[in-house]
Amino acid sequence: MRRKIVAGNWKMNGSKDLSEKLVGSIRFEAESLDNGVEIVIIPPAIYIGDVLKQAQGALSVGVQNVGQWQSGAYTGEISSDMAKDAGCRYVLVGHSERRQLFGETDELVAAKVSSVLFSGLVVIVCVGETLEERESGQAESAVSSQVRTGLSLVAQGEWQNVVVAYEPVWAIGTGKTATSDDAQTMHAAIRSVLKDMGAPADEISLLYGGSVKADNAAALFAEPDIDGGLIGGASLVAKDFVSICRYFPAGT
């Protein structure tokens, strides 16, 4: 059975006060969940300690980005070893905002994935097509290329620490979302690519991201190849975020 994961990416939002109130509320609400969903909080790195304090082991914690190096003269960077030392379990790599705003390439994503796995952490690798690629019929080929290159350095024994998040770029922060059918089609295509790469594709969790909210989560999570969500704006409101987590029925 694949892991069911709902991860909240705070992006560049947060404060010590928010960390205390929001994470405490999420932890309290999560105690009543009985559907086996792993809840992951991914705050700005500077608030990891505050989030861990409130999570109290009931919630997993991740970091939004790491460098491809483990140490050295790289001012402003943090390594996956540092993230692990701080108490993180997950690392987000290759988010579309990192690709678009900071010029991260598939090759750089691959190097970061390798570093994260070397540290023994779980990597959530983000892939997704632009509106132009979708409208020109290149969506699947674009995403396939990101998967193949971004995961090209994963060794056979490391796949258990790989999660893939499909986030259509045109749906991130826009209020638009892919239909559940569209999302399922792409998730199935990603799983097919993973299988072609020799990965244990049926064991790898695939998440959907891109304006996931309480009113569309049920339809998305009901699809056979969607194993959870990478949540942006809704993860900053405890009630909304926990509502999304509840859409996995017990025993799935």
Average pLDDT over residues 13-25: 95
Q: So what's the pLDDT on residue 250?
A: 59
Q: Both tokens of residue 92?
A: 């987000």
Q: Which of 38, 95, 129, 187 is catalytic?
A: 95
How confident is the model at residue 251, as a pLDDT?
Answer: 54
Mutual orientation of helices 139-150 and 180-196 as an angle, nearest 10°? 40
Instruction: Report yes or no on 239 lying in a domain.
Output: yes
Residue 72 falls inside a structural domain: yes
Could you tell me if residue 139 is inside a domain?
A: yes
Q: How high is the pLDDT of residue 248?
A: 75
Please give the radius of gyration of the chain, using alpha carbons only, rounded to the nearest integer.
17
In a domain, 250, yes or no: no
56: left (phi over 0), alpha (psi -120 to 50) or beta: left
Check whether 12 has a pLDDT greater than 90. yes
Domain housing 73:
5-245
Q: Minimal CA–CA distance to 193: which of 150, 157, 228?
A: 150
Q: How many CB atoms lie within 10 A of CB 198?
A: 10
CATH code of the domain containing 167: 3.20.20.70
Is 76 inside a domain boundary? yes
Residue 251 placed within a domain: no
Per residue in 44-84, pLDDT tens? Answer: 999 999 999 999 999 999 999 999 999 999 999 999 999 99
**Does pLDDT of 174 surpass 80?**
no
CA distance 83 to 160: 19
Mean pLDDT of the chain: 94
Write down the H helix ranges in 103-227. Answer: 106-118, 131-135, 139-150, 180-196, 214-221
The tokens describing 195, both together, are: 């299988």
104 is catalytic: no
Q: 183 near 208, Cβ under 8 Å?
A: yes
The pLDDT of residue 32: 84
Q: Is the pTM of this model over 0.75?
A: yes
Copy the structure tokens of residue 68.
């491809």
In the block, which residue shows the tokens 């193949």? 148
User: Does the pLDDT value for residue 252 go beyond 70?
Assistant: no
Contact 182, 170 (CB under 8 A): no
**Annotation marks residue 29 as catalytic:** no
Q: Which of 38, 129, 133, 167 is catalytic?
A: 167
What percentage of the chain carries pLDDT values higher than 70?
A: 98
The pLDDT assigned to 28 comes to: 92
> Identity (one letter) of the amino acid at 60?
S
Q: Report the domain count for the chain.
A: 1
For residue 172, pLDDT beyond 90: no
Whether residue 247 has pLDDT greater than 90: no
Residue found under tokens 């790289």: 74
Residue 59: inside a domain, yes or no?
A: yes
Decide if 123 is inside a domain.
yes
